[in-house]
Structure 1
């Protein structure tokens, strides 16, 4: 790589992950421009530019990406299949690095699992980026798997805890470690990728703030609150069945059921500890699980 990345365009900067990523990129010293739909009323921090675009138009996107060194896509899973014009525009505008919307589970080895049907947009987009990169070596990419959005999941229930009722849902034994990352930590990882271009060129990496088990999380919240929580135990396999039934009816909330089965099932083996966790590569450290839980409980 020649010169460092300076100008970064963010797509999807107002979603669940977007604000944390924008803030961390700004803090890391990048000049950030957020691409928005023309109808968007979202606001962004001082010093962050915004440009209204037509996401279906390569011409509109190419114009907006002029002068941008990198593009970070944080488009939600339901919209990722529409990223092809963004990729074509990035190539046309001379963008040097794209980080596609891969945040979440690693999509590179889903096999024939039902969850793969929902994530085809991500899979096909990264395949398309890979082909474009082979055709144009100056156009590079980095995929980032983050596991569960931990702090967001605590607030929205996907971790299985309800602090108001002090109840916990535990799937299978609850002793399977799983990959999880807090939103600001994901933003720091993205910034670190853009500062470590050679180390991360055309590479799929996985990161985690920590790799807890469901029982470890429950033990910590019980210690902090000084209260035994009510525990509901469920088989992870049942979540797969529920998801298949939902998906057969066109209900894409099946993703949550497939996700629970995939990561919480005994023997899943999806934690990314040690050399599998790219934090060392990026010059980052893991985070404190108990501190994250204390912050959530205090909110």
Structure 2
């Protein structure tokens, strides 16, 4: 049996996802080190070790990773292409597990699509990690697809529900089930992955807090507020058209439009249920959709 993973370096620890990952790792008993750029003013919990690094330098990163068992990268999508330096440093430092910033839609099944082209930084990074793992069998990886960040999306309006105006944008029929995860849940997923290193080695795992339809969310918000919400209907085909037009002009905000087409289109069938879900493998239960929505409405 392999030695347990105890020491974990988190990259992007002050970001939207990174904060929750750090908190859940600490709760699970891991020793957490947060990496930050020189001059960064980011704040971290008192029981987190902070190391200042040069992300462009393999030497700087290797030194900072000395003694670490695992790396968890939660950096933003726009920066994922720069993870190869971090991968090389992790191998030099003999880090045993690498979890790249793969969170979101499953990038293993986006080949030949416009949204897949936008996500090439993630695709190529994981391909690189897999090739390095094959060269160095002690160096393992876990890819994690979480679907949309649901609690974050409610808060910032990207899920299509506005509590201040009581309006909802419903794409197509609104009946398609969508893979979705809350940020703290994703932190617990990562803790569970690292707590079971042999079971989760060199695997691509899809997880979800739940798989709601837009109409289910609408039903909940109307029940919780006791009011009918104004519903605006929209077409995912039109979203795709807008996204492709933006992309042709080099405007990568096209991602949001193309994402709506991919996940909300009738017949997309990207929900993570049954054998396609790794929740059971990790010993995690789905969360309560209504409770999450109610908490958002109270905020």
Q: What TM-score range do you get, normalising by the shorter chain?
A: over 0.9
How far apart, in 2, do the equivalents of 1:195 and 1:174 lie?
Answer: 37
How far apart, in 1, do the equivalents of 2:129 and 2:297 lie?
Answer: 41
How far apart, in 2, do the equivalents of 1:84 and 1:201 lie?
Answer: 19
The equivalent of 1:11 in structure 2 is 11
The equivalent of 2:297 in structure 1 is 297
How far apart, in 2, do the equivalents of 1:295 and 1:223 lie?
Answer: 14
The equivalent of 2:193 in structure 1 is 193
SS in 1 for 2:51: strand
How far apart, in 2, do the equivalents of 1:8 and 1:108 lie?
Answer: 25
1:50 pairs with 2:45: no
The equivalent of 2:67 in structure 1 is 67
SS in 2 for 1:198: coil
Structure 1 residue 119, shift from structure 2 partner: 0.5
What is the aligned length?
299
1:70-117 Cα offsets, whole Å, 9 max, x none, are 000001000000111000000000000000000000000102111111
Map 1:177-216 to 2 at 5 A. 177-216=177-216
How far apart, in 1, do the equivalents of 2:295 and 2:46 lie?
Answer: 26
Structure 1 residue 283, shift from structure 2 partner: 0.8
SS in 2 for 1:169: strand
Q: Does structure 1 conserve the Cα–Cα contact (< 8 Å) formed by 2:2 and 2:198?
A: no
Structure 1 unaligned residues grouped into runs of 5+? none
How far apart, in 1, do the equivalents of 2:271 and 2:78 lie?
Answer: 25
SS in 1 for 2:121: helix
Query: Structure 2 length as normaliser, TM-score?
Result: 0.99
Query: Structure 1 length as normaliser, TM-score?
Result: 0.99
Map 1:154-233 to 2 at 5 A. 154-233=154-233
How far apart, in 1, do the equivalents of 2:210 and 2:290 lie?
Answer: 11
How far apart, in 2, do the equivalents of 1:27 and 1:265 lie?
Answer: 38
1:114 pairs with 2:118: no
1:112-167 Cα offsets, whole Å, 9 max, x none, are 11111111000000000000000000000000000000000001111100000000
How far apart, in 2, do the equivalents of 1:18 and 1:43 lie?
Answer: 12
SS in 2 for 1:212: coil
Structure 1 residue 214, shift from structure 2 partner: 0.3
The equivalent of 2:143 in structure 1 is 143
SS in 2 for 1:50: strand
1:269 pairs with 2:269: yes
The equivalent of 1:40 in structure 2 is 40
Displaced runs of 4+ in structure 1, greater than 3 A? none
Structure 1 residue 190, shift from structure 2 partner: 0.1
Structure 1 residue 14, shift from structure 2 partner: 1.0
Q: Does structure 1 conserve the Cα–Cα contact (< 8 Å) formed by 2:63 and 2:93?
A: yes
The equivalent of 2:31 in structure 1 is 31
How far apart, in 1, do the equivalents of 2:189 and 2:3 lie?
Answer: 20
SS in 1 for 2:199: helix
1:41-75 Cα offsets, whole Å, 9 max, x none, are 11111110111111111111000000000000001
How far apart, in 1, do the equivalents of 2:224 and 2:123 lie?
Answer: 40
How far apart, in 1, do the equivalents of 2:118 and 2:157 lie?
Answer: 21
How far apart, in 1, do the equivalents of 2:109 and 2:286 lie?
Answer: 24
How far apart, in 2, do the equivalents of 1:13 and 1:220 lie?
Answer: 33
Structure 1 residue 288, shift from structure 2 partner: 0.1
Structure 2 unaligned residues grouped into runs of 5+? none
